[in-house]
Amino acid sequence: MKTLRTAAKKANLDQPTLSIQDLATTRKVLSQPVSVLRLLNHLQPEQVIWETGEVAVGDVSGWGQLAVLSSGWISWRGHLEDDGDFYGDDYAFAVVLKHPDGSGTGYGLKDEGHIDGGESTSFQVDAYDAWIEANWDAIKTKGYVWKLHADPAVGPDEVLEFILKDLGVAVALVGIVVVMFIAGSEGSGCEWAQPPEGQEGVEVHCPVEY
């Protein structure tokens, strides 16, 4: 069971005297009035982590991991390698949550770029959206879809068109008619960390700023 003291300690905010009002104001967690339940959610959020497993398209192969937190944060990271010739490939690697909003829009994250032949790249894109927090129960239940597109003969804009088309087909059955990528930043928000000794998996820690 979550308690405010436990959540604050995990967030490195433990103090001899703990004021809910001061804590929320200091951490910029909540607007007025203060909700204790929402404060707990931001200090010690639930999380789900999904993995693509090994993926390969043409000469490009690798993996991806998606973390979604009940506080509204989403983090998409992965690693790709190009085993082809010198010129390499333009690529887009994207994910979309399978729970649409009321207008049929599905939200996700993407990484795109170019990999030279024989080279590799790692990425992490982090973003926050209050819609994730508000729809957490449905999001964690319905899951996500991913698509990777790589092509040596097209430019980055065309690769993005292909990935949007592929994602649109993949999520059409769950009522998503439009795919929108959340504006994210490269690896500046969340930290993927190993759990305490004796536990499996990874833990994702994101800023407490909203």
pLDDT at 6: 55
Sign of CA dihedral 154, 157, 160, 166: negative
Are residues 178 and 120 located together in one domain of the fold?
A: yes
| pLDDT number for residue 124 | 95
Containing structural domain, residue 199? 47-205
20: enclosing H helix or E strand: helix 20-27
| Distance (Å, whole) CA 99 – CA 135 | 8
Average pLDDT over residues 159-182: 88
Higher-confidence position of 66 and 152? 66
**Would you give the distance in Å from CA 117 to the centre of its chain?**
28
- Say yes or no to pLDDT of 199 above 80: no
pLDDT digits (tens, 9 = 90+) for 124-166: 999 999 999 999 999 999 999 999 999 887 766 778 888 888 8
117 and 29, same structural domain?
A: no
Residues 195, 157 share a domain:
yes
Mean pLDDT lowest for which of 20-29, 31-40, 68-77, 78-87?
Answer: 20-29
Query: Do 18 and 78 sit in the same domain of this protein?
Result: no
CATH number for the domain spanning 75: value is: 2.60.210
* Whether residue 169 sits in one domain with residue 67: yes
In a domain, residue 126? The reply is yes
| Of the candidates 63, 73, 61, 56, the residue with the CA atom closest to the CA atom of residue 119 | 61
Whether 19 and 35 share a structural domain = yes
Same-domain status, 18 and 101: no
**Cα(110)–Cα(42) distance, integer angstroms:** 25
Query: Would you say residue 210 lies in a domain?
Result: no
Number of H helices, E strands in the chain: 6, 12
Indicate whether 133 belongs to any domain. yes
Q: Do 114 and 194 belong together in one domain?
A: yes
Cis previous bond, 33, omega within 30: yes
Which tens digits make up the pLDDT trace of 86-127?
789 999 999 999 999 989 999 999 999 999 999 999 999 999
- How many distinct structural domains can be found in the chain? 2
Res 38: pLDDT:
61
